[in-house]
Amino acid sequence: MAILWFVAFLCFIFLWQWIWNKQSPFKNWPVFGMLPRLLQNAPNVHDHATRFLLDNGGTFEFKGPWFTNMNFVLTCDPTNIHHILSRNFSNYEKGPKFREIFEPVGDGIFTSDSDSWRYQRKLIQSMIKNKKFELFLEKVSRGKVESGLIPILDHVSSNGIEVDLQDVFQRYTFDNVCFMVLGFDPNCLSIDFPQVAHAKAFDQMEKSVFYRHIVPESFWKLQRWLQIGEEKKLSNACKIFDQFVYQCISSKHEELSRSRTLKVEEAKFDLLTACIEQEAEGGEMDGFTKSNKFLRDMVFSLIAAGRDTISSGLTWFLWLVATHPSVEAKIIKEMREHLLVNSEINWGIDEVSKLVYLHGAICESLRLFPPIPFEHLCAIGSDILPSSHRIIPSRRILCSLYSMGRMESLWGEDCLEFKPERWISEQGRIVQVPSYKFIAFNAGPRTCLGKDMSFTQMKIVASTIIWNYRLQLVEVHPILPSLSVVLHMKHGLKVKITKRDL
């Protein structure tokens, strides 16, 4: 009799689930929850999540398999996001689960909370606001364009060959950020497109961290314990990248020790030098010491921020410009008006800051294709969101930045169009949009410290390419987002390049 009752109970559950699932594209199966549908739609997860969020008022509770810790709340509702990232900021942190998933990143600013996060943010802010570093940033950005980017594009153009611009940008930004953070140029950006072990290791670490997001925790932990599959690849990649970073840290200590002074010239004031200089001047601050492990974790966070967000932003931006000739023409017209002096173009920081239309076009690209498509947080205590969804302690929250850029309620019926004009006022100035609405650089206390640096570098690279070259997209080449914590193009951006006659 007990067996009959149990079978009847299971039949009831399946019948109830079947009725509920007929009305929902995100099926919640017994035992497996909504994971099967998530895996089924993983290749197109961003657009699938967007459609589902828009059909469900902007917020949805995802149910993972039974007896797993995969339940989370997904939202693109700007009132919820404003509440989580600003108004009730103290109740939401990265949390231990986030740090466990992002274990390869270490305890840098992206994974830390509370006092550690505040200390690192204060430290990094003081370094990037240093006038020496601002001068160094301009020198490195322009220097790498002139010595690396332009020679490669000239070579590709003169030989009439196809090139993957995403690969070019990733090489450019990796060289750039390594030089600005470590004072070391790995020279990934050269005509022979060398395979650089630590750069490839960095890519693998990103892929493996995303993998941890879409499979049950017990599965990837088992792989980690057995050292098989994706976790073995991750372990090998971490060893390669850590060896590179620790070698750079050791070399920097030796370099500064030999110089017998920490007063570094403006010509080379990388962030690692700045951090060590502060350590020498102030010693220990707020109970945190700058051990090699601390420096490694800080370096990793800064390289991730400076490499991937800018390369992703540039890739999607140049694709959008290449497919919208009228936008390209307006950018060239603006450059001719503001940068052209005596038949010469000046790409200095002050000069590119005058390019309002280019700035609006970059904002529009970041709205549609934010480099970080999801913001991942965890609730400390109970809460009720403005959407009336109840949040229990330790509940994970995913804010979909990608979906926010596709909301008619925020951006109008033309929200899917690439329209830089929406960012420019009648007076010809940039329209100031609240950060919880345009969240490409995060919002609230965690707003990106490198926002201005990112815009500067993107403007220098984008304006250089648009002014000097025409981009022709390779026909039938698919343009799709990749499965990664960063919104790269899955198959790259294949183009042919020709010199522009102006």
Measured in degrees and rounded to the nearest 5, phi and psi for residue 501 equal -100, 115
Segments in 56-94 forming alpha helices (H): 78-82
What length does the chain have?
502
In the three-class reduction of DSSP (H, G, I as helix; E, B as strand; rest coil), residue 317 is classed as helix
Task: Give the C-alpha distances (Å, rounded to integers) separating 321 from 111, 362, 465, 472.
Answer: 34, 10, 11, 11
- Count of beta carbons in the 10 Å neighbourhood of residue 6: 10
Strand partners, 377: 397
CA gap 339, 275 in Å, rounded = 35
The closest alpha carbon to 346, from 459, 445, 183, belongs to: 459
| Structure-block tokens of residue 399 | 């804010």
Neighbours of 495 (CB within 10 A): 22
Q: Are 169 and 315 in contact (CB under 8 A)?
A: yes
- Any residues with CB less than 8 A from the CB of 120 and at least 6 apart, and which? 108, 109, 112, 298
Distance, CA of 140 to CA of 213 (rounded, Å): 35
Question: Whole-angstrom Cα distance, residue 25 to residue 34?
Answer: 10
Helices 292-322, 197-214: inter-axial angle, 10-degree rounding: 80
Asked whether residue 448 is marked as a ligand-binding residue, the answer is yes
CA 178 to chain centre: 17
- Report the binding-site residues: 448
- Report the binding-site residues for heme: 448
